[in-house]
Chain A
Amino acid sequence: MDSMETIKQTFFQECEDLLQDLESGLILMNDGESDDETINSVFRAVHSIKGGAGAFELTELVKFAHIFENTLDEIRSDRLEASKEVLKVLLQSSDTLTDLFEAARDDVEFDDTERADELRAALQGFIGDKPEEASDDGGMPAMSMDDMGFEPVILDFDFGDDVDVAPDAIVFDIVFTPNATMYAHGNEAVRLLSNLAELGDANITCDRSTLPAFDDIDPEGAYLSWSIELETEKTEDDIREIFDFVEDDCELQITQRGGAPEGGPEDGLPDEDSAETPDIAIETTSEAPAMDNNEAVSAAPVEVASVEIEVKAEEKEQPKAEAPAKPEKKAEKKAAAPVQAATIRINLERVDRLINLVGELVINQAMLTECVVEAGLSRDSAVSSGLDEFKQLTREIQESVMAIRAQPVQSLFQRMSRVVRKAAQATDKSVRLVLEGEFTEVDKTIVEKLADPLTHMIRNAVDHGVETPEKRLENGKPEEGIVTLSAAHRSGKIVIEVSDDGAGVNRERVKQIAIDKGLIPEDAPLSDSEIDNLLFMPGFSTAENVTTLSGRGVGMDVVKRAIQSLGGRVTISSEPGKGSVFTISLPLTLAILDGMLVHAAGQTLVIPLTAIVETLIPKPGDIHHMGPDGRVLNIRGTFVPMIDVGYELGFRDSPTHSERSVVLSVETDGGTQSALLVDAIQDQRQVVIKSLEDNYGHVPSIAAATILGDGRIALILDVDNLVSSAGDSRASFDPTLVAAE
């Protein structure tokens, strides 16, 4: 049953959307921002899930959805008030429905039947003890269709065929005039014409009037055109399909004899016509009873089209009349249709392939640019200006392709409200999740890979951040804690923040734990922000509060690593008594990076632009030596450790002291500044990221590689890693750096 399996997959996909609709609808209702359509769409979601689940015999899902649906129906028909209490259960039910769905999708045993039963009982409680009508184990309804006395429809096929405009034989007049390009593209008029003749009775005449004298004939020119009289049951679309490939290379006129072209009703309703056709049509409706009218229609298929005109005209005249109300809706919709955002589902592989190709295109374009430079062509030569346009186009294509992969973080964020509900329930806290900027668009892979770290951070915020209700009241805060999840585009990056209005990081305890675990020396002089950042250290787990919730052996270091693997960074800032903010900043895409091309010890390297704060040429007086190898740079009064990139990566044996060196001031994850010393800055440009791990192996301090315009490979620096490994050799300088390794 292959087709059934396909439909099942469709169902699972659709279910995910439906569950999202369900949840966002319920949240709207919970926030008191719903209207009638909200409850309707919520109802429809559960209804459709139940319907689909029934078809695939997912009984647990059906059972739960059934009572859920009934409860929603009660609300929909105003028999049950959507109170806070009811909505709380509904939201929890939507969570359980999601769990049930996931179990069904992954074909695993649903392990929380107890909770499902509990919720079912609660839902049943809302709608009273109405017996479940028509026992929900499927089966045909109690009332069989035999009892209903339905009228069968009499299908008169002679008659029916007349009504069916499509299969009726229609005569089309087709004028086909190929351009020279059509032949140049290897298309033959003969083949097209014989295809056309297969559609029906064709009468083909060749027009040779434009054929010049033999001597004047350009062998690659096009001089002939054909007129075809085609009597066919097919539609104009079918005819056009034949010319699909040569559409741009020929002139094609298709007219349907005796009236408006079939299959293109929109085009077939010119304004002039509507001035007179409606009269006829209205006459038809007003005078003829239904049956006669059908005959009128069958007499000339053209009039079927006019019926539609009539509908439109009538609606203009009396828009409030009851009968045309529906058609009016329809007409509106038709007009609105092109505006409406239609979507298609595309296999991700195809999109990724496209992105890879665009990556190649970017490289290719860079190579071409270099060739042109080498060829010594002047800036204002045609090639150069053409190349500029090409560059511009490449960039636009690249952005458009990236946009295909971009999706709003909304779905991800909404899942988090579920996490908050579950976490709050488990810890007996009252917490509300506030979402901001959920329409911010982010690369799909990033959205997917953010799910786990974000879940963890949200759990942490509820578990460790927000205080118990009693404590909050004691501290003069409202009982309900607030966790805010926000997303925004900020200077070419995506910034996601998880903040809570809890107690903030208990720095004394965090420091003590780190000392106890031997992660930092006892006398380490740490700033507040350095202490906060201890939370991200591997091996740091606030063991005291291993709760059922957060204590799953996953520390914040795992979160940090996950974010880093996405090329992003996470920082924390905290204010005692007021709460903490975790900030994740991520690149817009994983495929292409804005970087600065630099030279160091004869190597070309790429430094991600996101890490760079500023570039400067240091004055000799600003460089101070510390110890044998250590140097610091005075940047406007702040002393920043200097790292010679060429030396650090092993490209040269000792740090340089060249006065012509350039310094890139960079900021790492932990918020520490460093000054990277390079020989020169070459360019700032976009580079395509090529994974080293996939093609070679992991290299410390190197994030990836790229291919430059001249075909050489350049390494992309992993600034954080470089800074921390450089820090290793200067153990005494920055305690957090020591700790981080």
Chain B
Amino acid sequence: MSLKDHIKIMVVDDMATSRGLVINGLTELGIKNITYENSGDDAFVALSNAPVHLVISDMNMPGMSGLDLLEAMRAAPPTAKTGFILLTGSDDPSLVQKGIKLGMNNFIKKPFSKDQLQKCIERVVGRL
């Protein structure tokens, strides 16, 4: 079994469009186990019940933002080591810096191509 069949990825985004795009991309990459949540808060709750290997979260969300989620994840033992990719609309360096400080594993700027998504994920978890 390759990594594609095995890896569990959670997509977190409040916007159905953006969520759909990521999930669509992941599906096209052949990822089998994809879950999603509509908010950082829900994602955090879900993660403590059913951990995943990698979280791809949007930055801008009502309630917990992407980085808020990252911070909370890193502070909670079960998710402290979970991979985290931030999905952003801008590549504001200060945002990226903040993310690095909090322990994000990569980021990807919208819009992205399938290849970009693949590369971005592979840098975090290895060859798919």
Contacts and interface: CB of A to CB of B under 8 A. Distances in A.
A51 B18 contact: yes
B54 A165 contact: no
A145 B80 contact: no
A323 interface: yes
A62 to B, nearest CB: 9
B17 A11 contact: yes
B91 A142 contact: yes
Contacts, number: 157
B124 A323 contact: no
Interface string A50-71: 1110110000000000000100
Interface in B19-54: 20-21, 24, 27, 41-42, 44-45, 48-54
Contact of B20 (A10, A152, A166, A305): A10
Contact of A326 (B42, B72, B77, B91): B72
Interface stretch (A102-110, A289-297, A547-555): A289-297
A70 B126 CA distance: 36
Contact of B17 (A52, A160, A297): A52
A437 B118 CA distance: 50
Interface in B55-113: 60-64, 68, 71-72, 75-78, 80-83, 89-93, 96, 100, 104-107, 109-111
Given A14-B15, A155-B125, A41 B45 contact: no
Contacts of B83: 153, 155
Contacts of A37: 62
Contacts of A152: 105, 123-126
Given A14-B17, A47-B89, A164-B50, A55 B105 contact: no
Interface string A23-66: 00000000000000100110110011011101100000000000
A327 B25 CA distance: 31
Given A7-B21, A134-B91, A48 B60 contact: yes
B105 A285 contact: no
A275 interface: no
Given A48-B60, A50-B89, A326-B68, A311 B126 contact: no
A489 B24 CA distance: 45
Contacts of B104: 150
Nearest to A8: B17
Interface string A119-145: 000000000000001100010111101
A145 B107 contact: yes
A190 interface: no
B89 A10 contact: no
A51 B81 contact: no
B124 A326 contact: no
B contact residues, range:
35 or more
A329 interface: yes
Contacts of A297: 77-78
B16 A44 contact: no
A667 to B, nearest CB: 48
A333 interface: yes
Contact of A151 (B24, B105, B107): B105
Contacts of A151: 105
Contact of B63 (A142, A153, A333): A333
B8 interface: yes
A334 B78 contact: no
B17 A307 contact: no
Nearest to A289: B77
Contacts of A14: 15-17
A41 B65 CA distance: 12
B4 to A, nearest CB: 12
A233 B48 CA distance: 18
A145 B106 contact: yes
Contacts of A308: 48-49
A157 interface: yes
Contact of B77 (A40, A133, A138, A294): A294
A341 interface: no
Nearest to A15: B17
A515 B3 CA distance: 84
A155 B50 contact: no
A153 B54 contact: yes
Given A145-B106, A166-B50, A326-B44, A48 B68 contact: no
Residue from B51, B61, B104 having most chain A Cβ neighbours under 10 A: B51
Interface of A: 3-4, 6-7, 10-11, 14, 37, 40-41, 43-44, 47-48, 50-52, 54-55, 69, 133-134, 138, 140-143, 145, 148, 150-153, 155, 157, 160, 163-166, 263, 265, 284-285, 290, 293-294, 297, 304-305, 307-308, 311, 323, 326-327, 329-330, 333-334
Given A55-B110, A150-B106, 13 more contacts: A10-B17, A69-B89, A134-B91, A148-B96, A155-B83, A163-B51, A166-B50, A285-B77, A294-B80, A297-B78, A326-B75, A329-B41, A330-B72
26 contacts: A6-B20, A7-B20, A10-B17, A14-B17, A44-B62, A48-B17, A48-B60, A52-B17, A55-B111, A145-B106, A145-B119, A148-B100, A150-B100, A150-B104, A152-B126, A153-B53, A153-B105, A155-B53, A163-B78, A164-B51, A304-B48, A304-B78, A308-B49, A323-B75, A326-B44, A333-B42
Interface of B: 3, 6-8, 15-18, 20-21, 24, 27, 41-42, 44-45, 48-54, 60-64, 68, 71-72, 75-78, 80-83, 89-93, 96, 100, 104-107, 109-111, 116, 119-120, 123-126
Those 7 A-B pairs whose CB atoms lie nearest each other, nearest first? A141-B91, A153-B83, A326-B72, A54-B111, A11-B17, A7-B20, A52-B17
